[in-house]
Amino acid sequence: MSTDLFINGEFKEAKEKQNIINPSTGKAIAQAGVASLKDVDSAIAGARAAFDQGEWPRLSLAERKDFISKISQGILDNAGELAELESLNTGKPIKETTFMDIPSAAKTFEYAANNFERFLSSEELNVSGKAKAVLRREPVGVVVLIVPWNYPLLIACWKLASALAAGNTVILKPSSLTPLSALKLAGIAHTAGIPAGVVNVINGSGDKIGAALCADRRIDMLSFTGSNEVGRKILEYSSQNIKKSIMELGGKSASLIFNDADLDTAVNSSLVSIFLNQGQMCTAMSRIFVQDSLYDKFVVSFVEKARTIKLGPADSHETQMGPLISENQRKRVIAFVEKAKAEGAQVLCGGKIPQDPALKNGFFFEPTVIIDVKPQMTISKEEVFGPVVTISRFSNSDEAVKLANASDFGLAACIWSKDINFAERVACQLNSGTVWINTYGMFYNQLPYGGFKQSGFGKELGREGFLEYTRLKNIIIDQSADSRPLVNYWYGF
């Protein structure tokens, strides 16, 4: 299987190729083209021309809606292939890609198609007897979308649906580890009839093409989801020619479980909140805090169930947890666990590579539970991005809030309590962009998503996320009775 770059309406073979690895087996499953700097320039030029001279920003809203709807249907029509590609490329269990990622990706385009017209509606204001204003939403221009490897198709769709519906042209750069579903998405957009240059997909490492892609003055906006380390580089690149940016960065999310919570529900849901997608989620609840009287029961039950999670290859419907994305990522996770032990924490289960011979070639790592963790420990402060959770105790809500907020990140949090009014009051004290009460991981296209502090700025999804991909123009119209405004007389002529 070989995949090409998609530039200016055509699939183009790249001179350089890279192997794409299946994390379940450690073997290559495809070759993907790697964009050169010349390819980057071609993609930018194509997107720029499509926006400045092309039809896309000038289409009627009804015509644009038709294209967006066709992409949504195209995702559904190719759901089986997309689910398989996503699993093979990321190591994510096929059940997750089939029932979560692919349907959600299609729904994102469906929501954009059905709602963007009202989001773009102009607002007229009579600001005084002599003037009125029209507030008009317009596309920003050429937008670069940089997508991570943990949800390569879904997050691409979050960004692409809003950017396209708003009338922008885009350059999508998937992670060089996981470009396959993004390139398939380019084919779906092409089949839908998207005009040349409106969607471009180029694969390549950030070190090689990042500066050229982000610093170019022809780019109007950047939307990035990924690590803080890479986010800082992108902001540095983009500062050479100032442009609008959205940054969805890391997390060290906290789950607060109060004494009145239902134990089984809290345990089962908490397992999902950290071990789904092998813990490779920005919103992973990697810090669990349990109130004193429930703590011992919770830990016993959580560890007992964590030990039963079935590891296996991503393409098996029996697999509950697949491999990490790469050997480098596994080494990084192991280093965090070893450092936690060296700093005095205790590993109750997991913490090592599984011994099953059937898994020896993949990048598997056992679900890991750590206790006796102090706030100053590295494991408490830094994002592991793997199946590793710390469980600590608290006495009262004030202490719980203090522990949860003692982080440089502010992406998400969970609260578990039967007292909803109390839980809402606690939620208001948490420094997190999203707070789930008695649930986890519920993302809705109607609702904005984004974090605080070092977790970034800007929103995805919802009306607010859509409007990020627009610019607001203020048109002021004089309504003086004699068409001679006050400014006309300023110098007395």
What is the arithmetic mean of pLDDT over 167-173? Answer: 98
| Domains of the chain with CATH codes | 2-249+455-476 (3.40.605.10), 254-437 (3.40.309.10)
Average pLDDT over residues 202-229: 96
**What is d(CA 62, CA 59) in angstroms, rounded to the nearest whole number?**
8
- Element at 476 (helix H, strand E): strand 470-478
Which residue numbers are catalytic?
248, 282
Question: Rounded mean pLDDT of the chain?
Answer: 97
Q: What is the pLDDT of residues 181-212, one digit of tens each?
A: 999 999 999 999 999 999 999 999 999 999 99
Give pLDDT, residue 214: 96
Can you give the pTM of this predicted structure? 0.96
Whether pLDDT at 1 is above 80: no
Q: Distance between CA 373 and CA 69 in Å, rounded?
A: 49
Phi-psi region of 193 (alpha: psi -120 to 50; beta: other; left: phi over 0): left
Sheet holding 169-173, edge to edge: 10-12, 5-7, 199-201, 169-173, 142-146, 221-225, 244-248, 456-457
H or E segment and range at residue 32: strand 27-34
Coil/strand/helix, residue 477? strand
pLDDT greater than 90 at residue 405: yes
Q: How many CB atoms lie within 10 A of CB 76?
A: 16
Q: pLDDT value at position 2?
A: 66
Residue-wise pLDDT for 149-160, tens only, equals 999 999 999 999
Q: Which pLDDT tens digit goes with each residue over 308-326?
A: 999 999 999 999 999 999 9
User: Is 90 exceeded by the pLDDT of residue 492?
Assistant: no
Is residue 343 within 8 Å of 379, Cβ to Cβ? yes
CA distance 39 to 11: 12
